[in-house]
A and B are shown apart, each in its own frame.
Chain A
Amino acid sequence: MDSTTRAEESTAALAAGEGAAEIAVSVRSLSKTYGDGYAVHDLSFEVPRGEIFGFIGPNGAGKTTTLRILATLLEPTAGEVLVEGRCVVNETEEVRRRIGYMPDRFGVYDGVTVEEYLEFFAGAYRLPRGRRAAVIKDVLDLTDLGALRDRMVSSLSMGMKQRLCLAKTLVHDPSLLILDEPASALDARARIEMRVLLKELRRMGKTIIISSHILTELSDLCTSVAIIEKGELVVSGSMDLLQERKWGTDRVKITLHEPRPGVEEALVEIPAVELVSIEENVVVFDYAGAPGEFYKVLKALTDREVPVVSVEHDSRNLENLFLRLTKGDVQ
C-alpha cells in the first residue's frame, strides 16, 4: 500500500507542479507481465515536450509493449504512465485525444481510397464535419500524398502505406506522436523522407516518440533517447547529456603508417582506453575519458614513436554506446 501512495503523491505533485507543462510523457515504475514473465520491468523515464525521443532496444526488449501502454491499448500490471499529465489508465479519453499512434505492424482497410481512409479517421476522432476537407488536404500535403488521394489504399506500396498511416495519426492534430518502428519496412529513400517529415513535425511543436532496434537510424534524428533491454531501462536522457557522460564512450580509429609493436602496451596503460582491435596498421579502441585528456593517448603513442597518420574520433557514435550498453558492460 505504501509504495503506491508514495508513487501517487509524487505523481500528483508532478501534475500540479510547474514541471508538468514541460513533460510530455512520464513513465514511473512501469511493469507489464505476460503470464509469469516480465515484458517490461520497473521502467521509468520522461520525455520532455518538443523532443524527438528515440526508444531503442533489441527485438523483444519491450518497446512495443511500452508504446501500446502509452497508446491506451494495453493496461500496465503496475506503475503509472502519464501523457501530458493524464493517466493512461484512468483518463483514456483525454490521452487518446492527445496522441497519434502508429503500430509496428498495421493493416489498411480494403476498398477505400486514400481520402476516404482519412475521412474515416477524421470521423472517428470527431472532427467537425466542415473542417474535415481542409484538414485532410493539409495532412495529405504534409505527407506528400496529395497526388494519391483517389488511389485505393490497398494498392499503395509499403512506404506509401506507412506515410498514409502517419497521415492518419495527424488528422486530429495530436501533440504527441508515438511511432513504433516506422522505418523498419522502408527502403533507404523512404527512410530519408520519413526523417525529413519527422523533423518538420517537430518544428510544428509536436513531441515524437520513435522506437527502433537499430540505433544508427535514430542517432542524428533524436534529441533524447531511452535504451531498454529485456524490459529494463539501461539508460535515458538527452543526447547531449549522454555524449558527455563518462560512459558515453567514443570510438577512436587510429591509422598508422605501418604496423608497429608496443602500440597495445602503450594503450592498455591508459585507464580510459579499452582496446577493441588492432589489425595491421588500424587500431580501434573506445575512449571513455574526458575530451580534455585525450592528448594523453596521443602522447603515449608519440612517446613510443608510433607513426600516427590519422585519428578518427567518432564523438556521436551512439551505436557504440548502444552496443556496449546492451552487452551489459556499463552499469
Chain B
Amino acid sequence: MSSSADGQSRGARLAARHLPTFVRWLGNFGWPILLRQLRADFRKNRFFFSQFVCLGVLGVTLIAMISYQTSDETRTATQIGQALFDSFFIIQYLIILVIFPAFSATAFTEERAGLTIDLLLASTLKPEEIVWGKFFASTVYCLVYVVASIPLLSISFLFGGVEPREVLVAYGILIGLTLLISMVGVCISSWYGSPIRSTLTVYVLVFLGLAASWYAFRRTGWGEKGAEGRTLISLLLDSLGVGSSVGLPQVAVLAAVAFAYLFLITANRVRPSSDDRTSPLRALTFIAILGFLLASVASPQDIYLWLTTGTGGVWGRGRGPGWQRGLVQQVFVLVLLAAAIFPTEEAATSRRNRARFGAWTGPRYPLRIFAPGAFWGFAYAVALTALSSGVLLLGLGAGRQDGIDGAAVQALLTMPFYIAAVAALGFLLAACDFTPFYARLTVSFVLVITALLPFIFMLSKEREEVWTGWDVLWRAYYLSPLTLWQSLVADPAEDPSQFLLFGVPVAAAARWILGGLGAAFLAAGVLAARRAGHPLLRFAGGGDARAPRAAQRA
C-alpha cells in the first residue's frame, strides 16, 4: 500500500472503522423501521404533502396577520413584530397539537390492521428498538416541519420587539411538544387494534391538552390590560420564574419524565410479558419522586448549609410552612400511587427474571426492590415511602425551631404506615392471584373508602350529644389519608396530636392500627403466595410460577 493512497483514504478508513459502531448505534434506535417508513412515504408523497399543507397554513396566516396589523396606523413596528411572533407561536402550537398526532396515532394499529406486526415482533428487534423506530418514523416529518418553519419566523424579526431568548424558548417548547405528542400517539396506538379507535383516543387527549394550554396561557395574563408590549413567551417565562413553585427547568424535567414513562409503557405493551415489565418503570418512578423532592426543596445554598453546618439548612425555609406542607402532600400522593401500582403486579415471575435478580447479592441486594413480582413491589413501596419520609423529616427540619410544626411531623410519621398497609393489601391480593387490574381496582376502592372516612366523622361530630360513641369514632379521624393531609394544612397552633384515643395520641394509635393491619396483610399474603407456589425471597431455580396454577386446573 502506497503512502499517498494512505493519505487519501484516511478519512475513509476512519469512517470504515467507526461507521459500523455508528450504524449499530443507529440500529438501537430502530433505524430499519425508520428507513422503511421513509422509503414508503417518500414514494407516496405523503411527506411533501404534509409539509406543504402545514407550511401553507402557517404562511397564509402570517401574511394575513401582517396585512391586518400594518393596516392599523396606530401600531408601532415593535407591536407588529410581537403580534407576529405570538401568532407564529400559537399557530405552530396548534398545528403540532392538532395535526401531528394523526401521524403517530396509528403507529402500531397500522401494523396490526395490516397484519405486519407479527413479522416485526418475531424478528430479533428488541421491543425498545421497535418503539424507537415507530416513534422516529412518525415524528420525523413533524421535526422537519418545525425546523423548516424557522425562515417564516424571521419575518417577525424584521419588525423588532422580540428577544433571541424568547425565540430559543419558543423553539424549545415547540420541539419538546412535538416529541411528547408523538410519543403519546405511539403509546396510545400500542393499546388498540383498530386505527380509528386509537386516533379517537388520541384526539380526546389532544382536546384536553388544548384546554390545559389555553388555561396556562390565560394565567400568564396574556392579552389582558397590564400585558401590553409583552409576548406570550416572555409572559410564560415570567409565570414560571423565580417567584413560582415550578420553574422552566422543572417543566422540562417533568416533560422528560413523562416521555420516559410513555416510552417504557409502550415497550412493555410490545414485549411479551415474560420479559421484565416492571424494573425500568420502578426505577424511573423512584428517581422521579426522589428527584422531584430534592429539586423542589433544595437550593444549592440550602444543601451547602445543611452539609457544612448541619443546622442552618431547612429546605424551603424562605417559602413558609404552607409551601412545606404542600410539598409533603405532593410527595405522599406520588408515593401512594406507586404503592397502589407496584405491589399489585402478578405474584408470578418468570424464571429468567428471577435468575437475573437472583445474581444480585451482597451490597447489590437492596436493588432487588426493583425485581418484578408483587412481593418485591411491596418491598419497593415500603422502601420508597420510608426513604421519602426520612428525607422530608430531615430536610424540613423536624423538631427544630425553624422546621415544620408538630402536626406535620405527626403526619410524616404516620403516612408511611398507611402507605405500607396499602402496599401490603396489594401484595395480599396479588398473592391470591387477583389479576393486576382487579387488584388495583380493589386497592383504589379501599383508598376511596378511607378517604371518605373523615367526612363520615365530620357528620358524626355534629351529633355528639346523641351518642357519645361518635366521639370515639371522631378520634379515629387520623386513620384516613385525607385527614392526615388535612392535619398538614391545619392551624399549627391547634395541635391535632392532642387528640387522644383511649388515652393514646390519635396519630400514634393510627400508626399501631395501620402497622398491625399492614403486618396482617403481609403475613396473609406470604401464606397465600406459599400455597400458590409463588416465590418470595427465593430467586434461583424453581419452576415457572405460572405452571402450578395451570397444573391444578388440569
- Chain A residues proximal to chain B, CB less than 8 Å: 1, 3-5, 7-8, 31, 33, 41-42, 68, 71-75, 77-80, 89-93, 96-97, 99, 101, 103, 105-112, 116, 119-121, 123-126, 128-129, 165, 168, 172
The docked-state distance in angstroms from the alpha carbon of A73 to that of B122 is 7
Are A109 and B36 closer than 8 Å at their CB atoms? yes
Pairs A–B under 8 Å by Cβ, sample size 9:
A42-B554, A68-B118, A72-B272, A75-B272, A75-B273, A79-B550, A103-B119, A109-B116, A110-B40
- Chain B residues proximal to chain A, CB less than 8 Å: 20, 23, 27, 31-33, 35-36, 39-41, 43-44, 114-116, 118-125, 272-275, 350-352, 355, 533, 543-544, 546-551, 554
Of A96, A101, A111, which is in contact with the most chain B CB atoms at under 10 Å from its CB? Answer: A111
CB distance from A273 to the nearest CB of B (A): 39
Residue on A nearest B42 in the bound complex, by CB = A111
CB distance from B215 to the nearest CB of A (A): 41
Are A96 and B122 closer than 8 Å at their CB atoms? yes
The docked-state distance in angstroms from the alpha carbon of A131 to that of B85 is 52
Of B114, B118, B533, B549, which is in contact with the most chain A CB atoms at under 10 Å from its CB? Answer: B118
The docked-state distance in angstroms from the alpha carbon of A168 to that of B119 is 9
Which of these, B23, B114, B544, B550, contacts A129 with CB under 8 Å?
B23
Which of these, B35, B351, B547, contacts A3 with CB under 8 Å?
B547
Q: Report B-chain residues with C-beta under 8 Å of the C-beta of A97.
A: 124
CB distance from B474 to the nearest CB of A (A): 48
CB distance from A173 to the nearest CB of B (A): 12
The docked-state distance in angstroms from the alpha carbon of A116 to that of B40 is 10
Are B124 and A172 closer than 8 Å at their CB atoms? yes
The docked-state distance in angstroms from the alpha carbon of A73 to that of B274 is 11
Q: Report B-chain residues with C-beta under 8 Å of the C-beta of A121.
A: 119, 123
Are A111 and B122 CB-contacts (below 8 A) given A89-B350, A90-B351, A90-B352? no
Which of these, A8, A99, A105, contacts B543 with CB under 8 Å?
A8
Q: Report A-chain residues with C-beta under 8 Å of the C-beta of B32.
A: 119-120, 123-124
The docked-state distance in angstroms from the alpha carbon of A72 to that of B350 is 14
Are A107 and B546 CB-contacts (below 8 A) given A73-B272, A123-B32? no
Residue on A nearest B129 in the bound complex, by CB = A124
Which of these, B114, B122, B273, B554, contacts A109 with CB under 8 Å?
B114
Q: Report A-chain residues with C-beta under 8 Å of the C-beta of B551.
A: 3-4, 78
Are A112 and B39 closer than 8 Å at their CB atoms? yes
Given A3-B551, A31-B554, 16 other A-B contacts at CB below 8 A?
Answer: A3-B547, A4-B548, A4-B551, A8-B543, A33-B550, A99-B122, A103-B119, A107-B116, A109-B40, A109-B114, A111-B44, A120-B35, A121-B123, A123-B35, A124-B123, A165-B119
Q: Report B-chain residues with C-beta under 8 Å of the C-beta of A78.
A: 546-547, 549-551, 554
Residue on B nearest A153 in the bound complex, by CB = B40
Q: Report B-chain residues with C-beta under 8 Å of the C-beta of A74.
A: 272
Are A7 and B543 closer than 8 Å at their CB atoms? yes
Top 10 closest pairs, chain A to chain B, by CB: A4-B543, A111-B40, A123-B32, A78-B550, A90-B352, A107-B115, A107-B114, A124-B123, A4-B547, A120-B36
The docked-state distance in angstroms from the alpha carbon of A107 to that of B112 is 9
Are B272 and A92 closer than 8 Å at their CB atoms? yes
CB distance from A164 to the nearest CB of B (A): 11
CB distance from B268 to the nearest CB of A (A): 14
The docked-state distance in angstroms from the alpha carbon of A165 to that of B120 is 12
